[in-house]
Structure 1
Amino acid sequence: MKNILLCTTGATPQVITETLYALYTQGKTYPDELYVITTENAKHMLVDGLFTRGHLQALYDEYGMPAVKFDESHIWLIEDEQGKPVFDAKGEEDQSYMANFITRKVAELTADANTAIHASIAGGRKTMAFYMGYAMSLLGREQDSLSHVFVNDQFEFVPDFYYPTKTDNFIVGKTDYSLLNTKDAVVTLAEIPFVRMRKKFEDDLISQIEEASFTKTVARMNAADQVASVQLSNNALTLSVLGIDIKLTAKELALYQYISRENQKKVLVDRCFIDSIEPSMAFLSAYSLMKGDQRVYKTFGLCDEMDWRDKNLSGLKPMEKEFIQPIRSVINGKLRKALPVEVYEKVQIQSKRVKGGNEYWISQDITVTDL
């Protein structure tokens, strides 16, 4: 069986040498191969520290450790939806890319029954460590393990420390006036117990994870035991279902909220609709509670938000019959992208042509609440 060490790293590539050192000196299973998940900006620190400055080879030489199969092709850069590397994973969308990428890579590695994965969550951002742990919980098998590596406080985050040396080796500590002897460092590897959920789900679900997003996987698993409900947040501009937050614009969220509040969660766009200002009033009642584009008020014949707040509504116009459909399409597109099909079918805004116009509705089988 091939033993694979899978690590996440950020600005501290030292976690790689620390983990290898701990596995070897503590007599734990030593890896045959090493793969690292990181971001574009962190890769150069990883390459510089391990290869250019030679700390990885120095570790092998000092302890007589067998070299692990690892080169730049084993460094996996987190990618966005277009396959472009994520620079530093600080953006909100980057968190989704990170989750999806890590989940796919763990799915790929665990698909081979002849491998044993040792995943480390010691490096990278906290969210990166969380997603690695969660992916292992979803996909990990009996032969797989999860760990974190620690070093005593004075050596933590010291750029020149990579592993405890056998002989005296002095480096600059966290402050310029302090010197540390790397011989005195203590590295501890702690294995982390985790719940293995893989066997609780059908094989066809596991086979879909490599292609599915992290959010779709979570929603699909949650949906196994839960009835779908939707939460709307005016402050965050999100529609949340089964623990998945989907960003909408204020106009999109207000439309979903408007339809959900109508009788039977249904809107009939017919002659009566386009002759009445009641739909406009209902929509703007929701929209005005959010931070949205002021031009939306002009769509309804008002100058700006102040007209609405001051109840200067003499110019208020009925909602045009073409208003709902394009917004509905965008909302459904976002829901379809983020959710598994069976959940999307429940929470989408549905439509059909009827005599005299069009009907839009949200399933009465779900509850819609405002956060």
Structure 2
Amino acid sequence: MPKPRRILVCVTGLSPQVVTETLYALAVKQGWVPDHICLITTAEGAKRVRLSLLSEDPGWFARLLKDYQLPPIRFGLDDIRVLTDAQGKELSDIRTPQDNERAADFIVTTLRELSADPDSQLHVSIAGGRKTMGFYLGYALSLFGRPQDRLSHVLVSEPFESSWNFFYPTPYSKVIELNDKTLADTQDAEITLASIPFVSLRHGMPDQLMQGAVGFAGAVAAINRSLAPPELIIDLEAKRIRAAGSIIPLPPVELALLSVFARRALNGLPACAAPSKEVPDSPWAVWFMLEYDQIRPERGDEDATRRSLAKGMDGDYFSLHKSRLHAKLKKRLGPAAEAYLINNGRRRPYRYSLGLPPSSISYRKLAVADTQAVSEHTTLSSTDRSPS
């Protein structure tokens, strides 16, 4: 198997040394050599990295590679991602609540992008930058991190910690002046990489949030909704439901099928058999049309549905629209969709039901207040009518 593309992700502020210190701990002490370094920083942080690490002199990044005979590692000006404000202007520092929000969204977007490649392996360091930057980076890895990804913090021994002249332990004697004007030999420095376990929440993220440009708050809200107790609200006339906090429009046939099982669950009825394959079932068609008639679909759709079920509903029709319903719920809700699926009991003879308790199901018009927890991808129509 080919080796996964290794990416070191760092945040820095006024201390560019974090990059070389972390790289030394990973590549020299642990043998994990990245192929690429991605740096998230402020405008001032980018300037310091450019002057101290990527310049010809002192050029500490190139020096580290040469001193320890490391292979080429991609890290240049194009790999420095600078935080920006709402107008696209680079931030020199993070000082306001708005700056914090922008930093959080920027970091989440970066981690989502870097983790989208299944052949990549991320090592994320939270050692640099403001504390909020490190927190957001660690949290973003919890949201999007995979089993192969790692999180760490680098620790530097005294008296080298926070020294402006120290960048990594050299394999030879090099005397530097410390911040308190005393002298020390960089050959004596010790660097330790503290591994930080993280809880991966990636499996709870809906597909839309994994692929779209959703910010930090939206991603956290999606996780919270997926972990909350299930609640299903059905608005038949508006042709939509609220499930796991998300408003989901549904086609009339899929909505009617879901409503059949929601109504049975509300009334405490047991699981039921699906219609037989290629054998029209008249009672099933009656159950279905009782819900369908409340939805008011478009005339053409309504006529086509009535013709299809004129002799009853067969198993193929049932299976087709159950699959379409499940696909829509899974796409919007991710793993949180499981509570809202029509399950078959998982053993033969299959009997189908909606596993929600009656207290979790209701029928009503979805008002504006119901949309407050909806993800940034959801747009509601202003022409929704009240149910009759």
TM-score normalized with structure 1 length: 0.60
Among 212, 215, 235, the residue aligned to 2:214: 212
Report what 1:183 is aligned to. 187
8 Å Cα contact 1:122-1:148 kept in structure 2:
yes
The verdict on how the C-alpha distance between 1:188 and 1:226 changes in structure 2, with shifts beyond 3 A counting, is: same
**Which of the residues 30, 34, 38 maps onto 2:33?**
30
The change in CA–CA distance for 1:136 and 1:341 in structure 2 (over 3 A counts) is: closer
Question: Aligned equivalents of 1:14 and 1:55: distance in 2?
Answer: 9
CA change 1:61–1:223 in 2 (3 A) is same
Q: Distance in 2 between matches of 1:158 and 1:88?
A: 21
Contact between 1:215 and 1:339, CA under 8 Å: does it hold in 2? no
User: What's the secondary structure of 2:53's corresponding residue?
Assistant: helix
Letter matched to residue 102 of structure 1: I
Corresponding residue to 1:46 among 45, 49, 53: 49
> Residue 43 of structure 1 aligns to a residue in which SS?
helix
Give the superposition deviation at 1:342.
9.2
1:66 aligns with 2:62: no
Q: 1:45 to 1:342 in 2, by over 3 A?
A: closer
**Aligned AA (2:10):** C
Corresponding residue number in structure 2 for 1:127? 132
Deviation at 1:344, TM superposition (A): 10
Query: Can you list the C-alpha shifts for 1:291-310, whole angstroms capped at 9, x where unaligned?
Result: xxxxxxxxxxxxxxxxxxxx
Instruction: Name the SS of the counterpart of 2:192 in structure 1.
Output: strand
Deviation at 1:139? 0.2
Shift of 1:142: 1.0
**Amino acid corresponding to residue 87 of structure 1 in structure 2:** S
Q: Which runs of 5+ in 2 are unaligned?
A: 230-367
Q: 1:120 to 1:194 in 2, by over 3 A?
A: same
Q: Distance in 1 between matches of 2:133 and 2:68?
A: 30
- Mapped to 1, the partners of 2:208 and 2:78 lie a distance apart of 30
After superposition, what is the alpha-carbon deviation per residue over 1:105-153, rounded to whole angstroms, capped at 9, x for unaligned? Answer: 0000111111111111111000000000000000001111111111012
1:85 deviation in Å? 1.4
Is the Cα contact below 8 Å between 1:154 and 1:174 reproduced in 2? no
The structure that has the greater radius of gyration is 2
Q: Secondary structure at the match of 2:199?
A: coil
Structure 2 contact 121–148 (Cα < 8 Å) conserved: yes
Task: Give 1:72 shift.
Answer: 0.2
User: Within 1, Cα distance between the matches of 2:211 and 2:25?
Assistant: 34
- Superposed structure 1 runs of 4+ greater than 4 Å apart: 341-345
Q: 1:49 is matched by which residue type in structure 2?
A: S
> SS of 2:54's equivalent?
helix
TM-score w.r.t. length of structure 2: 0.58
| 2:135 alignment partner, SS class | helix
Q: How does 1:293-304 map to 2 (within 5 A)?
A: none
Note the 1:313-332 alignment, pairs <5 A. Answer: none
User: Which residue is 2:239 aligned to?
Assistant: none
* 1-structure distance, mates of 2:28, 2:39: 21
Alignment partner of 2:116 out of 99, 111, 118: 111
One-letter amino acid matched to 1:38: T
Paired residue for 2:225, among 220, 223, 226?
A: 223
Aligned residues: 242
CA distance in 1 between counterparts of 2:379 and 2:42 reads 31
Between the aligned partners of 2:33 and 2:211, the Cα distance in structure 1 is 29
CA apart distance, 1:83: 2.4
Q: 1:137 aligns with which of 122, 129, 142?
A: 142
Q: Which residue of structure 2 aligns with residue 340 of structure 1?
A: 375
* Structure 2 SS opposite 1:117: strand
Partner residue, 1:364: none
Q: Which residue of 2 aligns with 1:149?
A: 154
Task: Pick one of 52, 57, 61 that aligns with 2:62.
Answer: 57
Structure 1 residues not aligned, in runs of 5+: 228-331, 353-371
Displacement of 1:189 after TM fit? 0.9
Q: Provide Cα deviations, 1:27-78, integer angstroms capped at 9, x if missing partner.
A: 3421001110000121111111102221111111111111211100000001
Alignment partner of 1:153: what SS?
coil
Name the residue aligned to 2:248.
none
Over the residues paired in the alignment, what is the CA RMSD in angstroms?
A: 2.8
Aligned with 1:23: secondary structure?
helix
1:102 to 90, 107, 112: 107
Distance 2:88 2:44 in 1: 16
